[in-house]
Amino acid sequence: MNSDIVRMIELQRYWDTVLRCREDIEKSAGSIAFWEKRLEENQGRVLALQGTIKLSKSSLRQKEIDLAAIEEKIVKLQTRRDAVKNEREAAAVANEHAAASAERGGMEEEILLLMDDIESKNSLLAEAEKEAADVLEQSTADIAMLEERIERFRKQMDENRAKFDEGLPSLSAAVRAKFQKLTGSGNGKAIVRIDGETCEGCRVQVPVHLAGDVSKADRVMSCSNCGRFIYSG
């Protein structure tokens, strides 16, 4: 067989491996990015819940202080009620007492609602923390496996790339530039088998005389449809 064809077939094998490795590396990197996004989302949810619980708790503390103040006011009003001098004063104290009692009722209700709210947020937080821990556990093992895989494929890719680069100068000048151009475009196939009369690169039938020549002539030929180098074998 023509030595250019032999070398091109060999180089194509290295190049196919380079492309396969590259594809696998991209896929693994995509999986790592997916895990990282999930980890970030989970962490974000936990932090957001912690923040809102903190706000609710500080609001609860303030309401409890306000409630204590109103209760103190009510006690004082009760003392004053026992010491009123006339009806007008008695009516005024009674009014104030009624208003303070209503305010206290409202505050107690708000405090209860707030406590319920904190409780339900706490259970959401517990769920979010559990999910975050689960995702962390799953992803740690998976990411380590993916990184090891990337490392392995990168090594294989580099080795094959080096062999490809080393072999390129051995091609004759007549085919080298075109070969390089074809490997760098589309699916990277520069030389393909011809199966009967069908080019395996584009699945189109080449003219019969060309197919005949490929099997007989010991020279480099190209598919009349896609332009790739063809060989029979």
Question: Which residue ranges make up the site for Zn ion (CB under 5 A)?
Answer: 199, 201-202, 223, 225-226
How far, in Å, CA of 29 to CA of 48, rounded? 28
With residues binned 3-state (H G I as helix, E B as strand, rest as coil), the percentages for the chain, rounded to 5, are 80, 5, 15
Phi, psi of 11, rounded to the nearest 5 degrees: -65, -35
Residue 232 CB, shortest distance to Zn ion, in Å, is 13
Residue 45 CB, shortest distance to Zn ion, in Å, is 53
Residue 223 CB, shortest distance to Zn ion, in Å, is 3
- CA angle, residues 194, 213, 220, in degrees to nearest 5: 75
Using DSSP's 3-state secondary structure scheme, residue 171 falls into: coil
**Residue 5 or 21: which CB sits closer to Zn ion?**
5
How far, in Å, CA of 164 to CA of 29, rounded? 25
**Residue 146 or 210: which CB sits closer to Zn ion?**
210
**Residue 46 or 191: which CB sits closer to Zn ion?**
191
Within the chain, residue ranges assigned H as helices are 3-82, 87-167, 173-183, 208-216
Residue 199 CB, shortest distance to Zn ion, in Å, is 3
**Residue 114 or 202: which CB sits closer to Zn ion?**
202
